[in-house]
């Protein structure tokens, strides 16, 4: 039954994906100076509280910018940035960062065993689903369904987001992906969140 529900949820996400403007990576690079202070020149942020954008799916990035601009996703650091962005600006910036290569990261070896177990198999005892069922075996995500790439993302940022999803935070009833994460993260323990976040940070090394 759980797998049937997840399949239905995936179809709901697919049905909710909207049309996006066509982005120009070169134009996005020219517009990215305001983003570089937090996210790095090429989208590889040096501060673990701020996500890496390099290599993330273009439509996912554009969708997040739209949500932040609309006020559905609250990111205080972005409140002074997104109001001045047009649809084309958001498309161009998303195309630029999607074209960059993620620098990856390193997992804490003491957390890899538990982190890999949660990512690949979940926790049957508490009903936690396997992360890879949506985000892929290598953390590559699924752009058509709106699921982001996770491999190499800062563990601090991933932990923060999982904790917020666990608490019930989402980006509105119309954003199926964040609603799905509420259910997926609801039974994660603090230890499991830290472990899977660390595993994802070094996923390209941990395989």
- In order of start, what are the domains of the chain with their CATH numbers? 2-9+104-206 (1.10.760.10), 14-98 (1.10.760.10)
Burial class (CB in 10 A: 0-12, 13-18, 19+), 192: buried
- Contacting residues for 177 by C-beta, under 8 A, at least 6 apart: 13, 145, 146, 147
What DSSP string describes 1-14? -HHHHHHHHHHHHH
- 164 Cβ contact list (under 8 Å, min separation 6): none
pLDDT by 10-residue block (mean), the chain, 207 residues: 45 51 95 96 97 98 97 95 97 98 95 98 98 97 96 98 98 94 98 98 76
Place of tokens 């290599």: 55
pLDDT of residue 53: 98
pLDDT, residue 145, reads: 93
- The pLDDT, as a whole number, for residue 104 is 87
Assessment of whether the complete model's pTM goes beyond 0.95 = no
β strands within 87-132, DSSP E: none
> Which residue has 């937090």 as its token pair?
38
Q: What pLDDT does 21 receive?
A: 78
């Amino acid at each position: 039954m759980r797998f049937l529900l997840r399949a239905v949820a995936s179809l709901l996400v697919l049905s909710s994906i909207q049309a996006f403007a066509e982005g120009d990576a070169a134009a996005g690079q020219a517009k990215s100076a305001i983003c570089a202070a937090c996210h790095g020149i090429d989208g590889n942020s040096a501060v673990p509280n701020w996500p890496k954008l390099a290599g993330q799916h273009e439509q996912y990035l554009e969708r997040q910018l739209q949500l932040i601009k609309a006020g559905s996703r609250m990111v205080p650091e972005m409140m002074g940035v997104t109001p001045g962005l047009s649809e084309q600006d958001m498309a161009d910036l998303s195309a630029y960062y999607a074209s960059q290569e993620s620098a990856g990261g390193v997992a804490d070896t003491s957390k890899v065993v538990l982190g890999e177990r949660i990512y690949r198999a979940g926790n049957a005892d508490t009903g936690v689903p396997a992360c890879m069922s949506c985000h892929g075996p290598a953390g590559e995500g699924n752009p058509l369904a709106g699921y982001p790439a996770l491999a190499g993302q800062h563990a601090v940022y991933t932990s923060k987001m999982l904790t917020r999803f666990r608490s019930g935070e989402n980006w509105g009833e119309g954003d199926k992906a964040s609603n799905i994460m509420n259910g997926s993260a609801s039974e994660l323990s603090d230890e499991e969140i830290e472990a899977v976040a660390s595993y994802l940070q070094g996923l390209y090394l941990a395989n």
